[in-house]
Amino acid sequence: MPSPRKHTPRFSALAAAAAAFAALAHTAAAQSTEFRLGTDGSWTVAAAPQPGTDEAIIAEARRALAEERPEDARRILDQWIEDHKRTDNPWLPEAYLLRGDARTAAGDEFQALYDYETVIKEFPASSSYVKAIERELDIAVRYVNGLKTKFLGLRLVGAQDAGEELLIRVQERLPGSRLAERAGIELADYYFRTRQMDLATEAYSLFLLNHPRSPYAPKAMQRRVAATIARFKGPRYNGGPLLDATILVRRFAALYPAQAAAAGMDDALLARMDESAGAEMLENAKWYLQVGDPVSARYVLRRLLVSHPRTAAASTGLQIMIERGWIDLDAPAPTTETTQSGAAAQPPAADTDAEPLEPAAAAPAASTPGADRPEGGAA
């Protein structure tokens, strides 16, 4: 058995000081008294609420919360709030905030939201305003990450919608703040995690617009690229997201080259998107041929050869044009000007340098692939 530890005089003095400080802290908590350390090393009473005053009651509720007795704190505050809720008592916002904290500590965070909302809506000038918004943000993050609300004492009801609404409110109430920054990235991540890619793309774009210097900016740019690519459903659908994604990949690689290389956002990804965009244009041309519109088919194929010349789709498109006599192998290669002059009634190709705010424009409305065919397949 190890021998008992010897208590040296120095160790005994430290232990006595620690015990005295613990006793002093306990006394301070019990009496809700504020102590101040003097220049001579002694503690003096700085302030102490008078028993029976509003300050003393609020201090008692705080002490109950600190001692992990949320139900006692709530009972104290329930009666006090009921007696003062129609007055202009300066302690009301603090009381509502503390009661919300007590309900949250007891596992009833949904009811706590009513107290936090009271502080936010009725006491916007109080020091509890930002604290209440911060509490709502914490609850919102838990909700969008899967926490359910209670029903009959059990957590059975999903609360993602409530969490989503709270994240939006935080950004509206404290725009430009650190809380709004966290709420914005949490909301975008929630959309991304639940595969709501249209909303995720918009949320990341708004986040980068509102917080361009945020430490979350590289993550937001990277996920915006992934969400934009995910919006492309296949060669028989609108290829606008691929155009947007190409611009975003190049911008991300220019700003964060090391992170872009680590994430695989390099020439290989651009080549795959180029292939997909070419396949989408080839499908459009084939559909025009099926509905008996060779003029539009020829225009789209010429655009394909100019926009995506190194793709397999361009090779297939070139073969189709040769078979139909639409191209002379001895003539100069088509350019952007020749493709536009060959079909003046058709719109020019999309501007690849434009800001990707909306999906790229499709072919003319009079003969747009998919306008007269079922979704996802040729006529």
What the chain holds in terms of domains, given with CATH numbers, is 54-174 (1.25.40.10), 236-367 (no CATH)
- pLDDT at site 47: 59
- pLDDT at site 217: 92
Q: Please tell me the distance from the alpha carbon of residue 302 to that of residue 304, in angstroms, as a whole number.
A: 5
Q: Please tell me the distance from the alpha carbon of residue 332 to that of residue 339, in angstroms, as a whole number.
A: 12
- pLDDT at site 331: 58
Per the prediction, the chain carries an average pLDDT of 77
Q: How far is CA 300 from CA 125, 297, 371, in A?
A: 61, 5, 16
Q: Which of 214-218, 290-294, 320-324, 330-334 has the highest mean pLDDT?
A: 214-218
Tell me if residue 150 falls in helix, strand or coil: strand
* pLDDT category of residue 360 using cuts at 50, 70 and 90: very low
* pLDDT category of residue 24 using cuts at 50, 70 and 90: very low
Q: Please tell me the distance from the alpha carbon of residue 360 to that of residue 240, in angstroms, as a whole number.
A: 4
Q: Could you tell me whether strands 148-151 and 154-158 are parallel, antiparallel, or unpaired per DSSP bridges?
A: antiparallel
Residue 81 has pLDDT above 60, yes or no: yes
Please name the residue that has the structure tokens 């009811």.
111
Half-sphere CA count of 280, side-chain side, radius 13 A: 24
Residue 251 has pLDDT above 60, yes or no: yes
- What residues contact residue 226 under an 8 Å CB cut-off, 6+ apart? 192
Whole-prediction pTM: 0.65
Q: How far is CA 234 from CA 239, 240, 275, 360, in A?
A: 8, 11, 11, 15
